A and B are shown apart, each in its own frame.
Chain A
Amino acid sequence: MTALLDVRDLQVEFRTREGVAKAVNGVSYDVAAGETLAVLGESGSGKSVTAQAVMGILDSPPGFVTGGEVVFQGEDLLKLGREARRKVRGERMAMIFQDALSSLNPVLTVGFQLGEMFRVHRGASRAEAKARSIELMERVRIPAARERVNDYPHQFSGGMRQRIMIAMALALGPELIIADEPTTALDVTVQAQVMDLLAELREETGMGLILITHDLGVVADVADKIAVMYAGRIMETAPVHDLYKAPAHPYTRGLLDSIPRLDQKGQELSAIRGTPPSLLAIPPGCPFNPRCPRAQDVCRTDRPPLYEVTDDAGRPLAGRGSACHFWKDQLHDRP
């Protein structure tokens, strides 16, 4: 499978009054057509900033891409001009945000906002644009689309608004969709509906999907492969089943362990100690070392690269990588 999007060694920093915050420090990941990549991380891990840099919607200043490549269908987007970059957005890759209410214009009808995509990009007539809007709303399973096309965003529920956002992202048939915490603001029962819709649309259209989230449950439900981020770096990459079965990084292990499990009732949860580092002062060596139960002296001085994870016979495990000096011990859960 050739990669649809290949991000290589991406670096992003924010120049603020307090100093330079290194939000993304050499992130590489790729996603193929029809594949779902989940980028898992906590707040400040750089997962959203990476996506914004890929989309080309980073607020600049204060944010600057200082290195790396974003290769999309064989073409480095970072080398494109402003106008060419703009054409890629919407037409070939689209983004879905967490807060659907503030992403929609409250004074325009939903139909108008959907139709605008066709009028601006495809030069469609008003009537045609309206017909396409209704079609899109039906595609994202909004009941009574024909009657509701002239409603305003506030007349829809949270789940329905998120569907409209998805419809808008789909409008021009992009090859890649980046969904940044698409269900975090939604209730559990609605969350399930929206995630299912996304998964189904991905299958239908064969597009690539990058799902940015902090929710280990959502990831387990829909992802094909996972990239775990921490302090602007990739800590671990793995196919979804492998990651949950045998993580090769202590941070991933810690995240999995901090979810309450049935057999732990009445016991202490195994928490990761300490707090995530400030991006203004990322610790030297491995950024996770101050919180890591496996940390040795080498972790405080040498920054681990993303090692290739292999099985006992030394054969590389497909798609697996870990930025831990002691990934072998972690993989086999040895102390």
Chain B
Amino acid sequence: MPERYEEKQRADIGTQEAEALPGSDVLQAEAGGLAGTDQPARSLWSDAWQDLRRNPVFVIAGLLILFLIFISLWPSVVATGSPYNCDIANRNLGAESGHPFGFDSQGCDVYNRTVYGARASLTVCTLATLGAAVLGTVLGGLAGYFGGWGDAVLSRITEVFFGIPILLGGLVFLSVIKSGSVWPVIGLIVLLGWPQVARIARGSVITAKQNDYVQAARTLGASTGRIMLRHVLPNAIAPIIVVATIALGTYVALEATLSFLGVGLKPPTISWGSEISTASQQIRNAPHALLWPAGALSLTVLAFIMLGDAVRDALDPKLR
């Protein structure tokens, strides 16, 4: 409490001095002196980065995500063997030396399958989220900013998309494509996921653009691009980040469901989703086969939610 008062006092004294000395020559000299000793210029992004570096939540989430990216790129470094090296004799066996996670219903090593599953799962959920978030933000943001008939059309389109049951849409779409790789799954999720983001982005852009600081920038003659990037977007991004991080978790589950239904990823592609689907049928005999990929999945979703939370807070100067 006392320190806070001191700080406040100092801040006040700054104004009072200036108030007391309306003759600005004296002050000008003072300002010249100050300019030399001052700290470097800062901006929202550099301040946010400073804040994030010191935020343990961000550091932990960041390290986790880096680690996940690492094992998706080079699974063989972490794995103890091939995920396809299965022996039905080991069916549903528990943990043993060299096989820390035990075996699944096909007699495959759960540890290796989990490690090799990271690539597909991570690719699908991050790229799908990124795609949906970027597409949704751009379309929703433009519609919200410019309004008019484009906005009306977009609003109708999002309503149409909201009417499509996501699983049914997935079944139809993917049974036509039939490739079994990650790309059609990502495409589908982006296609069905962007309207949700767009709706949020549109709303928060409309709120942000009504502020006087947007008008102030216009009176300065700032370009539309500048206004959107500097004034509207930073003030509209927080809800988008929240929606995107929550969507990330649901997209992993969606991928698992689609794989389970036989239209998503197909063997030999390994994903956490498909592992969970298979193991969930054997939950009574071999719960560990479900536990490990599900745990990895939860950890991933948690890491991204923590990341999103930390970034959102860092972008709000009031919370610093």
Contacts and interface: CB of A to CB of B under 8 A. Distances in A.
Direct contact of A and B (CB under 8 A): yes
A280 interface: yes
B8 interface: yes
B12 A19 contact: no
B160 interface: no
Interface string A247-274: 0000000000000000000000001011
Contacts of A278: 8
B115 to A, nearest CB: 42
A333 B20 CA distance: 22
A274 B1 contact: no
A274 B16 contact: yes
Given A290-B9, A290-B12, A273 B19 contact: yes
B54 interface: no
B19 A274 contact: yes
A293 to B, nearest CB: 11
Contact of B5 (A271, A274, A275, A281): A281
A281 B1 contact: yes
B46 interface: no
Chain B interface, >50% SS class = helix
Contacts of A284: 5
B16 A273 contact: yes
Contacts of A273: 15-16, 19-20
A278 B8 CA distance: 8
Contacts of A19: 1, 4
B4 A275 contact: no
Interface in B1-44: 1, 4-5, 8-9, 12, 15-16, 19-20
A67 interface: no
A277 B7 CA distance: 12
Nearest to A17: B319
Contacts of A277: 8
A68 interface: no
Contacts of B20: 273
Contacts of B15: 273-275
A280 B9 CA distance: 12
Contact of A281 (B8, B16, B19): B8
Nearest to B19: A273
A275 B12 contact: yes
Interface in A277-311: 277-278, 280-281, 283-284, 290-291
B12 A281 contact: no
Interface in A88-141: none
Contacts of A281: 1, 4-5, 8
Nearest to A18: B4
Contacts of B16: 273-274, 290-291
Contacts of A274: 12, 15-16, 19
B18 to A, nearest CB: 10
B149 to A, nearest CB: 28
Contacts of A290: 9, 12, 16
B317 to A, nearest CB: 14
23 contacts: A19-B1, A19-B4, A271-B19, A273-B15, A273-B19, A273-B20, A274-B15, A274-B16, A275-B12, A275-B15, A277-B8, A280-B1, A280-B4, A281-B1, A281-B4, A281-B5, A281-B8, A283-B5, A283-B9, A290-B9, A290-B12, A290-B16, A291-B16
Given A284-B5, A290-B16, A291-B16, 19 more contacts: A19-B1, A19-B4, A273-B15, A273-B16, A273-B19, A273-B20, A274-B15, A274-B16, A274-B19, A275-B12, A275-B15, A278-B8, A280-B4, A281-B1, A281-B4, A281-B5, A283-B5, A290-B9, A290-B12
Interface of B: 1, 4-5, 8-9, 12, 15-16, 19-20
